[in-house]
Structure 1
Amino acid sequence: MSTAEHKHGAVRETPDRYGAFPRLTPEQIEDLSAHGERRRTTRGEVLYREGEPFREFLAILSGTAEILQDHGGPEERTVAVLGPGRFLGELGLLEDEAAFDTAVVREAGEILAVPVERQRALVGRDPVLGDLILRAYLGRRYLLIGLGAGFRILGSCYSPDTVRLREFAARNRLPHRWVDLEKDKEAEALLRRFSIRPEETPVVIWKGERVLRNPSNAELARFIGLPAPSPEAGRCDVMVVGAGPAGLAAAVYGASDGLTTVTVDAVATGGQAATSSRIENYLGFPSGISGGELIERAVLQAHKFGARLMVPAEVCGLTPQDDEYVVTFTDGSRTRAGAVVLASGVRYRRLEVPGIHRLEGISVYYAATVHEASLCQADPVAVVGGGNSAGQAALFLAHHAPRVHLLVRGGDLTADMSRYLVDQVERHPNIEVLLHTEVRGVFGEVKLESLIVEDNASSERRELRAAALFVFIGARPRTEWLRSVLALDEKGFVLTGADAQAAADATRWDSLGRGPLLLETTLPGVFAAGDVRSGSVKRVASAAGEGAMAIRLVHEHREKTGNLVRTAGPEESRPVAGQSVSRRSTTP
């Protein structure tokens, strides 16, 4: 569907209904002119092309440009037509990714071209211009996702690799479309066109010509032009494992403090926060902010200060060596780090119901983003969980589905959900809250059709119609690889501070004359922040705060002072009058 209107051969400029295509003010264009050059354009000229990196930020001074999806292909369609004062580009321009659309001159005129690197610097320095461009690019990204633009994933709904690729694309907020090998009419034509055997699927197809057969996540990332990670980078001051709010905060503060900072994540930037449709209690955003927008802002901020972000790059080993650490990746590469911040977060727990695993990724989901919501617009859906994540998902889905059943195991919605969310959930006409309710069975061959739910107070069971199930029932830490490396609690969360002190090997700390710092683990110089840390508050704001604090503690470790948590030295005994006491404390 085109957002532009064709009439007698003319194309009307696209109205900016969603904030994706704002106009620059004359003053902003004048400021940009000092950093770029003016160029004449000709009709039909390609200004940038899908699948290729952006080289310039382009503002239209006169004439028009048409934004096209699948340019030159059988499914070419117009996304927008932009005139004077509008600017071109997409989120990839700011994050060093390839373009997901093509811009073609519709009516000859003049453009202002600013080199990408200069534009990124300007966005960081000018908050008004930066906010305008970032919001527009985020709006365009979600518009492309909604249109099903970008690459296609062709595979069976029963294939674990298909589910993996779809999750990777969705978590990285990449425009794409899934073609179901089992029931999509387009699938057979694509198999014939590209000479693909069914057993070779899933495949990724882009630009109508490039095919990748059952790629790994890293291969897909390289295929579509994401910046290639290079863990084999010698040494860094700080290695941050995990790119959720805690990891990104550590990246921002580490890099801004002048430390060479590398942040890696096995799947995507953002962690669980990026899957939240709306965060309304984050300081400084009174009207709320989507998890995706908050994370994109954090990523740009980290880039601004020079932090390196590598996705996907999965860590599998951590080995002490000469007062530093060797970090090993699953591809066999290694990096040395002076300090390590563990911010790998948690993953949602799976719902253990007979037959549910075959529906995961098809109509059973563990996140509620634009991608999942677009598949649930005509039928009722169910959300399982009683915490904030479940409440946010229910509210978001209520804007897309005609009915949302919120299934809560306990008898009180306020037990685990913030009051502001409870009020909104209870007031929303499209949400039905079912307390004392648990899922006992699922029905549906190809996709979910209904649930068997049980009232755990009366043991009464009934069938509930639902075309999709969203599960938010708690989480478990991503710490399997750390079990033999440092101390964890009984649930697998990382022990820090005073808790780590009790579990630490005293001989390891003798040369430092101190015990673990506030967020330090049983390994000196290895810190934990955010949801992965034992005893942490599972909130976005607290995770970001811990990420920032971890960098302050990295400095203390590097200076070998460690004044937040001390171990009494042999020369220290009972204090005398007027003498301060050095003691174990978790309070700075």
Structure 2
Amino acid sequence: MANMQLTPQEFVPEANRDEPVSPSLQNLESRRHQSNPVLTAQELKRLHRFGTVRTYANGVRILEAGHTSYGMLVTLSGIVAINRYDGLGNSALLVEHGPGEFTAEVAQLAGRPSLVNAHAVGEVEVLVIPPENLRALVIAEAELGERIVRALILRRVGLIELNSGGPLLVAPAGHASLHTLQSFLTSNGHPHSLLDPNLDQQAAALVEYYQPKAEDWPLVVCPDGTVKKNPGNAEMGRCLGMLPELDEEKVWDVIVVGAGPSGLATAVYAGSEGLSVLALENHAFGGQAAASARIENYLGFPTGISGGALAGRAFVQAQKFGVEVAIPAPAMRLLCDQYPLRIELADGKQVKARSVVLSCGARYRRPALHNVAQFEGKGVFFWASRIEANLCKSSEVVLVGGGNSAGQAAVFLSAHAAKVHMVIRGDGLKATMSTYLIDRIKATPNIELHTHTEITALEGDEEGLRQVSFRCNDTGQEFHHDVCHVFLFIGADPNTAWLHDCGVEVDEQGFIRTGFDVNKGECRAKLEQGARPPEKPQRAALETSVPGVFAIGDVRAGSTKRVAAAVGEGAAVVSQIHAFLATQPVNT
């Protein structure tokens, strides 16, 4: 990010200076010209219509980590110094921006709080471009906007690689309670750092001051210096500005419930067409697809792309087009007794919409074992990311499931674990998995497939899982295995229980009926009552039984459970939303 020509070694935080530079950091250094472009005089002139010129005296703090919400600062004269700040008062120079350079990373597209401090070196003149104008800039100035957005993304990647900015998680190394928060932050692409009080003096002093009980771990230091004891995801989201205060009086054109591939597609296309869009997500953008280590059959990516990378790009696109994304913001009730439609959130607040898109996907299915919940995050996992892979490094793991997601996870984990025991009830993978994944599993020596087998018991203690019991259904034989990590990929059930108050029609499995399925049911009902059925369809293809409420992706009855299909539905529903909104009064 700057004038200073730092080497890759200088990018490494001081505490890690003796460690080798990772390939990813070396790659970032090679792309410095992209992460820190210098704008020409002509380009600077074009930017002036998007911002306001301000002057700061020497030493004035321009940005404060965890507090300042801004868009982009373009240095016109002088130097703006960017400092890493960790909430405990520690600060270190990251970079200096001279004339023609700019501050910001992806969070500033949405006006989220700064992750760094910045101060003026000498007298500084900057062009202040607020978030809404920054979004207008990257759209109006196509070529320049592309370079700016690429820089913002690379800077966020750099902060993640450096564990720089964001909250500090303080707990003994490997503490079981760390996993939930680490997973939340990593899934949302948010930088954070871990401090072990047994190794770090400041962390030890923090623990001595707060005296955490067993249930208080980890302590979390927010960027603004606030310390929280074992916060939930919602509290963490507020701490980082990921969960904004939502105006209960505002009426959104579209509220999208669920930010998986289908929901993100709707958000991007609706936002790009000028509709006001709010996306509500329970855990992390990308949904279950984001946990895929590599998607190899998605059009346009011949070498494959990870679910996280695909979701991350879509998330940035949504922010670029002005979509408001709230994470974590689980929808608790959909209220359809009046118009506009209303959605009640976990904190009791309600948000209003002229139309609602249900892309709420499914909830992970759990085996019928009485103590599964006891070990969730402490040995039992429903996805396989880099965090889980690091936990099971050089040990044996069990993976249950025979679908594509299970196959991708097995191949990914095989590069980290000593052995992957793949457990399925059926007699093979052919009926449930793509051929290319089956071939890859067969070619991986440390993946062993156990057919006609199921888990019968989990054993462990407060620290986590210790033993797994199995039964071979062919022979009836039961056996036990000392293993501390089990990955469950046994499918999911539709996340539709919260829709009962609205009366959205679902099928026998709980998936939402849309279009023809709803029309067919209405025709049948009219015929049974002796009435004449309607001559034309009553619903758009993706519209539910409730006018103005649409369903897409995995939660929709009859949908194709593929990422490409979900994205296609997310795009297709926008034209149907336009058609519906055209029938409604403008002032609703």
TM-score by length of 1: 0.78
The residue type paired with residue 436 of structure 1 is H
1:435 maps to 2:458: no
Asked if structure 1 preserves the Cα contact closer than 8 Å seen for 2:375 and 2:465, the reply is: yes
Comparing 214-223 with 549-558, which one deviates more in the overlay?
214-223
Matching residue of 1:573? none
Secondary structure (helix, strand or coil) at the match of 2:28 reads coil
Report the CA distance between 1:50 and its aligned residue.
3.8
- Aligned mate of 2:406, from 344, 368, 390: 390
Cα distance change on mapping 1:479 and 1:434 into 2, 3 Å: same
Written as runs of structure 1 = structure 2, the 5 A alignment for 1:24-63 is: 24=33, 29-30=39-40, 33-34=44-45, 35=47, 49-53=64-68, 55=70, 56=72
C-alpha offsets along residues 396-452 of structure 1, whole Å, 9 cap, x if unaligned?
A: 223333332322332222221222222223223443333333222334332334432
Which of these residues, 211, 218, 234, is aligned with residue 227 of structure 2? 211
Partners of 1:157 and 1:362 within 8 A in 2: no
SS of the residue 1:542 aligns to: helix
Instruction: Decide whether aligned partners of structure 1 residues 309 and 148 sit closer, same or farther in structure 2, where only a CA change above 3 A counts.
Output: closer
Conservation of the 8 A alpha-carbon contact between 1:2 and 1:77? no
Q: After alignment, is 41-50 or 51-60 more displaced?
A: 41-50
By how many angstroms is 1:557 displaced? 2.8
* Structure 1 SS opposite 2:299: coil
CA contact (8 A) 1:243 1:268 kept: yes
User: Mind listing any 5+ residue stretches in structure 1 that lack a counterpart?
Assistant: 562-588
Q: Say yes or no: does 1:552 pair with 2:575.
A: yes
For the 8 Å contact 1:202–1:213, the answer to whether it is kept is yes
Q: Letter of the aligned partner of 1:535 in structure 2?
A: G
- Whether the aligned pair in 2 keeps the contact of 1:453 and 1:462 (CA below 8 Å) is yes
- Superposition pairs of residues 88-487 of structure 1, within 5 angstroms: 90-100=105-115, 115=129, 117=131, 120-121=135-136, 123-124=138-139, 125-126=142-143, 129=147, 132-133=150-151, 135-137=153-155, 139-144=157-162, 150-152=167-169, 165=181, 167-176=183-192, 190-198=206-214, 203-207=219-223, 209-213=225-229, 215-226=231-242, 228-321=244-337, 324-445=340-461, 446-484=463-501, 485-487=503-505
Taking the aligned partners of 2:433 and 2:86, their CA distance within structure 1 comes to 44
1:526-541 map, 5 Å = 526-541=549-564
Question: Does the CA-based 8 Å contact 1:96-1:226 persist in structure 2?
Answer: no
Flag the 1:218–1:450 CA change in 2: closer, same or farther, 3 A. Answer: closer
> Which of 507, 510, 517 matches 1:499?
517
Aligned length: 552
How far apart are 1:472 and its partner, in Å? 0.9
Q: Confirm or deny that 1:19 pairs with 2:28.
A: yes
C-alpha contact 1:272 1:347 (8 A) present in aligned 2: no
Secondary structure of 1:499's counterpart equals helix
C-alpha distance 150-215 of structure 1, shift in aligned 2 (>3 A): closer
Alignment partners' CA distance in 2, 1:14 and 1:472: 31
Indicate conservation of the 8 Å contact 1:477/1:492, yes or no: yes
| TM-score, normalisation: structure 2 | 0.78
- Whether the aligned pair in 1 keeps the contact of 2:109 and 2:319 (CA below 8 Å) is no
Give the whole-Å Cα distance in 2 for the aligned partners of 1:287 and 1:110.
46
Distance 1:178 1:532, change over 3 A: farther
State the secondary structure of the residue aligned to 2:39. helix
SS at the partner of 1:415?
A: coil
Q: Separation in 2 of the partners of 1:170 and 1:441?
A: 30
Runs of 5+ consecutive residues of structure 2 not aligned to the other structure: 1-8
Question: CA 1:365 to 1:60, structure 2 compared with 1: closer, same or farther past 3 Å?
Answer: farther
Please give the secondary structure, in 1, of the residue aligned with 2:383.
coil
CA–CA distance in structure 1, aligned partners of residues 561 and 147 of structure 2: 33
Deviation of 1:473 (Å): 0.6
What's the counterpart of residue 5 of structure 2? Answer: none
Q: 1:463 to 1:57 in 2, by over 3 A?
A: farther
Q: Compute the displacement of 1:460 (Å).
A: 3.2
The answer to whether the 8 Å contact 1:442/1:448 transfers is yes
1:70–1:556: structure 2 CA closer, same or farther, 3 Å change rule? closer
